[in-house]
Amino acid sequence: MAEKQQVVIIGGGILGLAIAHYLQNSGEAQVWLFERGELGAGTTSQAAALLTRARSSDSAALMVHETHSTLRMLEQRFNLPFAQRSGCLHIASQAHEREQLLRYSQQAQQLDVGTQWLDSSDIQRLLPWLAITADSSALYYPDDGHADPYTLAQLYARSARAAGAQIIAHCAVSRLESQGGVFTGVHLASGEFIRADSVVLAAGPWSAALAYDYDIALAMAPVRSHYWITNNQPQVDARQPMAIIPSAKAYFRSEQSALLFGVRDSQCCVADPRALPHDIHSFHFAEDANGWLALEEHWHNLLALCPLLEQAQLAHYLSGVSSYTPDGKPLLGRLEQHSNAFVATGCSGAGIAFSGGIGRLLSEQILGKPTFVAAEEFSPARFATLQPPADPMSAEFRQHCARARSGKSTG
């Protein structure tokens, strides 16, 4: 029997745990995962967690498709159904938006994902609180939805542990041991050394600062993602589908009887990765700390689109950190500077939806197997010739990453 590859994963958020799930269940790896805090309690827990299948590329759609398949398997295995599969409407009111919906429809057909075309009366029936024009149409994904990200992270962890993975919380990695362009292992804060055949950096927005210590410049920046939740509204029902409306740069979903909504604002709130505290929930961006400027920018359009906001109370405002790249696609795969080092980060607000696909892709890459998607699309090396250079410590480059969020149109 071949000896198992020993893989050390740094970071116990949803990506690190998904990778641990796939690797350990392959039977070909022994996983050691270290998380300095609680599992899944960092930026994972801040996500709106939209599990939308419509994506800008076929490879991205495959990643989300894998997540849906794995989520169903985990729900059945642990007898814990928790995903809210209420569906999702992608609403178009302009010609170029309808063309994009047609591409999404073709993408869905290739994956055997059911969709339906809806007219404005169908949309109004499903979402009575939405005010749309008579010429609006939508592509409806009945099986899309959202899921509690913390619960999904815990299920990845349970699966990996059941297969024999060593997943250790409240255990910080103090430094990596490097010899001849190879990471040979990690030193823990306790002083213990853990040998590694491969090392995976999956530390979310902290990955950039960690990698920089080893002369690795990850093309990503910590960018603000945020959303609001109203008080309970009689027109809102948990069974109603989500809505993504590119023309308004907005999305909506129910939160039981309240309405959760977010906007792609132009504020470009971004941070120096070295300034992020261990407790991400104590962090606030210096610009527009309470989100009022972002809300003011879109408030007129939001009221026209969703009139109930005029009388609803905004009960909650949640601001979190997402790791954005210049093209809005994640950084996944082997690092050129160290032959046995891999990275999984920079998901640009899609980490929950991509998690299963990322777990599978990284597992295949680490074990030297053919990949189920075109991995080059997500390669960390794709920004090698970028101008300005990909330097996460450069304020100019970080603004470049922040603009990717402003232009985002998918879930």
What pLDDT, in 10s, does the model give residues 297-348? 999 999 999 999 999 999 999 999 999 999 999 999 999 989 999 999 999 9
Q: How far apart are CA 345 and CA 16, in angstroms?
A: 9
Domain with CATH 3.50.50.60 in the chain: 5-53+55-69+149-219+326-387
For residue 410, what pLDDT is reported?
Answer: 54
Q: How far apart are CA 378 and CA 153, in angstroms?
A: 22
Strand partners, 229: 260, 316
Q: What is the homologous superfamily of the domain 5-53+55-69+149-219+326-387 according to CATH?
A: FAD/NAD(P)-binding domain (3.50.50.60)
**Helix 149-162 crosses helix 14-26 at what angle (to 10 degrees)?**
30
Band of pLDDT at residue 408, cut at 50, 70 and 90 = low
- When comparing pLDDT for 337 and 169, which is higher? 169
Residue with tokens 């295949």: 364
Is the pLDDT score of 73 beyond 80? yes
Is the pLDDT score of 375 beyond 70? yes
Q: How far apart are CA 318 and CA 322, in angstroms?
A: 13
- For the chain, what is the mean pLDDT? 95
Cβ-based burial of 114 (10 A; exposed 0-12, middle 13-18, buried ≥19): exposed
Could you give the count of Cα atoms lying within 13 Å of 42 in the half-sphere of its Cβ?
29
Domain with CATH 3.30.9.10 in the chain: 87-145+222-322
Phi, psi dihedral angles at 204 (to 5 degrees): 60, -140
For the chain, percent of residues with pLDDT exceeding 90:
89
- DSSP for 263-303 reads E--S---B--GGG--SSGGG---SSSTTSHHHHHHHHHHHH
Q: How far apart are CA 125 and CA 285, in angstroms?
A: 39
Is the pLDDT score of 280 beyond 80? yes
Band of pLDDT at residue 224, cut at 50, 70 and 90 = very high
The per-residue pLDDT for range 109-145, each reduced to its tens digit, is 999 999 999 999 999 999 999 999 999 999 999 999 9
For residue 405, what pLDDT is reported?
Answer: 82
For residue 386, what pLDDT is reported?
Answer: 87
Is the pLDDT score of 202 beyond 60? yes
For residue 407, what pLDDT is reported?
Answer: 64
Q: What would the two tokens of residue 123 be?
A: 């949309």
Strand partners, 145: 51
Q: What would the two tokens of residue 286 be?
A: 């210096």
What is the 8-class DSSP label of residue 84?
B
Please say whether the beta carbons of 131 and 310 come within 8 A: no
Band of pLDDT at residue 411, cut at 50, 70 and 90 = low
Please say whether the beta carbons of 187 and 175 come within 8 A: yes
For residue 264, what pLDDT is reported?
Answer: 84
Is the pLDDT score of 409 beyond 70? no
For residue 55, what pLDDT is reported?
Answer: 96
Count other C-beta atoms under 10 Å from residue 375's C-beta.
17
For residue 56, what pLDDT is reported?
Answer: 93
Q: Closest by alpha carbon to 288, among 311, 260, 317, 312?
A: 317
For the chain, percent of residues with pLDDT exceeding 70:
98
Q: What would the two tokens of residue 13 be?
A: 């958020």
Please say whether the beta carbons of 247 and 93 come within 8 A: yes
Is the pLDDT score of 237 beyond 60? yes
Task: Tell whether pTM > 0.85.
Answer: yes
Is the pLDDT score of 1 beyond 70? no
Is the pLDDT score of 190 beyond 70? yes
Q: How far apart are CA 108 and CA 115, in angstroms?
A: 7
Overall CATH class of domain 87-145+222-322: alpha beta
Cβ neighbors of 39 (< 8 A, separation 6 or more) are 12, 13, 17, 153, 154, 157, 167, 169
Helix H, strand E, coil C: the string for 125-193 is HHCCCCCCCCCCEEEEECCCEECCHHHHHHHHHHHHHHCCCEEECCCCEEEEEEECCEEEEEEECCCCE
Q: How far apart are CA 116 and CA 140, in angstroms?
A: 5
Is the pLDDT score of 34 beyond 90? yes
Strand partners, 176: 186
The per-residue pLDDT for range 176-187, each reduced to its tens digit, is 999 988 999 999
